[in-house]
Amino acid sequence: MPAPPAAPLAQVVPLTPVDGVYTYRVPPEMDAEAVAGARVVVPFGRRTLTGVVVERFGDDDLDPETAPKLKPLYDVLDARPAVPADLLALTKWVADYTLCTWGEALKAALPSGTGVESRRVVHGLAPPDAWDEPRGRKVLRALQERNGAGLPVAQVAGVLGRKTVPQNLLRRLEAAGAVRLDDEVQEARARAKTARHLRLATPPAGGNSRTVRGARQTALLEHLAGVGEGGAVQAEAFAATGATSSTVKSLEARGLVEAFDAEVERRADGLDGPAPEAAPPVDLHPAQEAATDAIAGAIRAGRGGTFLLHGVTGSGKTEVYLRALRAALDKGKTAIVLVPEIALTPQTVRRFRAPFGDAVAVLHSRMSPGERLDAWTRIRDGRYPIVIGPRSAVFAPLDNLGVIVVDEEHEASYKQFDPAPRYHARDVAVMRAHRAGAVCVLGSATPSLESVANANAGKYTRLEMPDRVPVRGPDGTTHAPAPLPPVRVIDLGREKQVRRLKGALSHDLRLAIEARLGRGEQTILLQNRRGYAPVVTCEDCGWTPTCTDCAVSLTVHRDRYGKLSDQLRCHYCGLTERLQPACPECGERDLRLLGQGTQRVEEEIAEVFPEARVLRMDLDTTSRKGAHRKILDRFGRGDADILLGTQMVAKGLDFPRVTLVGVVDADTGMLLPDFRASERTFQLLAQVAGRAGRHELQGEVLLQTRNPDHAAIRFALAHDFHGFAHVEMAERLALGYPPYGRLVGVEVKGPEQRSTEALAERWGVALGQEAQKVAGVEVLGPAPALVGRVKKWWRYHLLVKAPRTLPPSVLAAVVRAVRDRVGAPGGHRVNLDVDPVGLY
């Protein structure tokens, strides 16, 4: 019997939206493992949940009344704490800042599907006709069909075709003895994987080797001799040597080889595989040198600090990141690199893996839960000092952090919206680095105005790289920096007036493409709308098809069978139906397809340039794993002349033969009712323009627009980030929007319009009352969301606005007070979004 623990109690945060910290007794046999950061299984009301121990303490100060009533922990899931101490503190900060529970924030820091949870399950005890009410009968019938296997309570809603679980009905059924409600514990969905391994038997049964016959046996023995005691995965050894199970059997029988099971790491394909070959070291150019000195200097000195690395596209930011990582590793420290969306930036990931090879773990959104668990476990065990990943990688369980790099820090994908925590990975990165005494590097050609403001205020150190890297010609000589490509604006309104516009591509853009085709150079075309045509309308009565479940019009998609099989699709819920050849309202056969999706532009290119080889990259062509990479590899090999796509083609691509970038419609998104619309448009245009003429060949950019005087267009034309930022900042200041103001978005959702609107109104009133107590706080709304209904749920928005000088905790308290008072009763949902990105 182990000695009773000195600190027999544990504070546990359950990994659910339930708020609070709960106290449990630690049984002596769990004493050593139930330390702060360990995941534990606990009884929670009628349920069983996974939680994280956040503190251990003694029972000295405990009221003798409560102490005996405390329940014991059921189990400890980790031999080593899953959440290191600094991540415990960081997730607590995230929870407080983003207005979610600590448990929700901790969940974001843990691999999904690894906890133990119970769910409520109903079992039927009575036949359907024992109940008179039709809904109850329906539930009992569904239970009867399951022959004793229970139905998870969450699925009862579906049986009745409803959105919410009929709690009331279930309670009545239970009270009448017609059903039984149980809690069933579900095992973890993701666990470590083992595989059969082979190794040479120890001690080797000497002498027998003479009796080995056959090339396969010899090959397998040689292979195993080369891998050592850890052995080789059997399947891999077979693939390498041509050996089979019978080869193993005969070697085993003679005591030469032994088989055993051992854990293996599941590695996602595509981004893994052997590390690419390291590029020869480059000599930094002066701006890179200055940036590297500042960053690496801070890392070496252990000084910490945040750097805003503002470098134009092609200025060599990645090289600076690599030197920062090197500095951290040389000091025995670890590093995190955040990239916006890994599938879109395989080139960037390859460049990080080349010099550091096996020291790098790559996390990405398309990993299976098992692959993710394996990577996470090994990161926690210190196997990988460098982690590259999307926003969630900011929570990677690394100790001894030296640097966090946030590449393309302005990208909206760093903000998580659903589920909570609604955090911004850039801000969490800055905070995590700060707490760890590490350096944070925020890099971009078009930094967010938030970061610019922080640099202006002296909170971040600004590093500028205003020129592209000097080009090295094929003969090995270097030339002056390649200038940023000239940008030309094509005014679509004028083109239409002079009747030169026939489709999506203007006369000048067609000429420019033709010239590239003639010279064997490549073109990137951006059209930020997928599908064929965004809207259909009846010429006669004005009918337009809309989604039955969402308040949006349906987009026409055309497949390779052409017009007759046109489909209508909802881009919000995925609903798909046939486009009928005639108007369902008036029978008119002349339906007009309005607007240009990527498919339609592709069709136009095929008509105008039948010889051109086109690759289309949008959500529809990249849904399969590895599809992005395949398209980009083909383009990189020169198997296509034109890469056409949505904003995916704007990001981080570096192809030497691309000399033309065409933006088919620069106005998409520019006029959205969002105060960041202009900033987003400028960023997108600057990013895509940066894809042209990055190497020896001079590039050119053509922007088609109906708003040639819009600030985003004018400054993109001149590659003038500072000019744009200056004008845009003045506007934000005048309106009190970020970076000069703080915002909290409130989204009220519900399955029924009237009650949802009423709840939004109650929130509005209550927020107004709370806001009066704090100077400067203002409430806007409620108003229907831009898309007022999604997947049958109605949506209303409110916005709470405060000056930047108000501490975030004061603003949070205002919103929290209303959440406690009004909440989200009656099957509604209210999402709070601190520092919202995108006011859709």
572 binds Zn ion (CB under 5 A): yes
User: What residues between 67 and 126 interact with Zn ion by CB under 5 A?
Assistant: none
313 binds, among Zn ion, ligand ADP, none (CB under 5 to 8 A by kind): ligand ADP
284 binds, among ligand ADP, Zn ion, none (CB under 5 to 8 A by kind): ligand ADP
The binding site for Zn(2+) consists of 538, 541, 547, 550, 570, 573, 583, 586
536 binds Zn ion (CB under 5 A): no
Residue bearing tokens 């050609």: 445
Sign of the dihedral through C-alpha 37, 42, 44, 47:
positive
Q: Checking phi first, is residue 627 left (phi over 0); if not, alpha (psi -120 to 50) or beta?
A: alpha
Whole-angstrom distance, CA of residue 93 vs CA of residue 560: 52
> Of 315 and 683, which has the nearer Cβ to ligand ADP?
315
- We find the least distance from the C-beta atom of residue 446 to ligand ADP, in angstroms, to be 11
> Of 132 and 475, which has the nearer Cβ to ligand ADP?
475
> Of 8 and 311, which has the nearer Cβ to ligand ADP?
311
311 binds, among Zn ion, ligand ADP, none (CB under 5 to 8 A by kind): ligand ADP
* Contact between 614 and 605 (Cβ < 8 Å): yes
- We find the least distance from the C-beta atom of residue 251 to ligand ADP, in angstroms, to be 49
Q: Which amino acid is at 188?
A: A
> Of 318 and 377, which has the nearer Cβ to ligand ADP?
318
Q: Which of 549, 674, 757, 778 binds Zn ion (CB under 5 A)?
A: 549
Whole-angstrom distance, CA of residue 163 vs CA of residue 792: 9
Q: Which of 233, 264, 573, 627 binds Zn ion (CB under 5 A)?
A: 573
Count how many Cα atoms sit within 13 Å of the Cα of residue 251 in the half-sphere of its side chain: 28
> Of 101 and 292, which has the nearer Cβ to ligand ADP?
292
Whole-angstrom distance, CA of residue 692 vs CA of residue 488: 13
- We find the least distance from the C-beta atom of residue 570 to Zn ion, in angstroms, to be 3
Radius of gyration of the chain (CA): 30
Distances (CA, A) of 460 to 319, 322, 396, 450, 585: 20, 20, 24, 11, 60
- We find the least distance from the C-beta atom of residue 690 to ligand ADP, in angstroms, to be 7
The binding site consists of 538, 541, 547, 550, 570, 573, 583, 586
Where is 121: in which H helix or E strand? strand 117-124
288 binds, among Zn ion, ligand ADP, none (CB under 5 to 8 A by kind): ligand ADP
Tell me which residues touch ligand ADP (CB under 6 A): 282-285, 288, 311, 313-319, 469, 654
- We find the least distance from the C-beta atom of residue 478 to Zn ion, in angstroms, to be 54
**What are the backbone angles phi and psi of residue 335, rounded to the nearest 5°?**
-150, 150
CA-closest candidate to residue 280, choices 32, 472, 20: 472
Pairing of strands 567-569, 576-578: antiparallel
> Of 83 and 452, which has the nearer Cβ to ligand ADP?
452
318 binds, among Zn ion, ligand ADP, none (CB under 5 to 8 A by kind): ligand ADP
* Contact between 465 and 294 (Cβ < 8 Å): no
**What are the backbone angles phi and psi of residue 437, rounded to the nearest 5°?**
70, 25
- We find the least distance from the C-beta atom of residue 566 to Zn ion, in angstroms, to be 17
> Of 206 and 281, which has the nearer Cβ to ligand ADP?
281
* Contact between 408 and 372 (Cβ < 8 Å): no
788 binds Zn ion (CB under 5 A): no
* Beta partners for residue 578, in sequence order: 567
Token representation of residue 738: 């970020």
> Of 558 and 569, which has the nearer Cβ to Zn ion?
569
Q: Which of 329, 405, 550, 799 binds Zn ion (CB under 5 A)?
A: 550
- Concatenating the DSSP letter of every residue in 718-730 gives TT-HHHHHHHHHH
- We find the least distance from the C-beta atom of residue 104 to ligand ADP, in angstroms, to be 34
The crossing angle, in degrees rounded to 10, of helices 808-821 and 753-772 is 130
- We find the least distance from the C-beta atom of residue 588 to Zn ion, in angstroms, to be 4
Instruction: Name the site residues for Zn ion (rule: CB under 5 A).
Output: 538, 540-541, 543, 547, 549-550, 570, 572-573, 575, 583, 585-586, 588
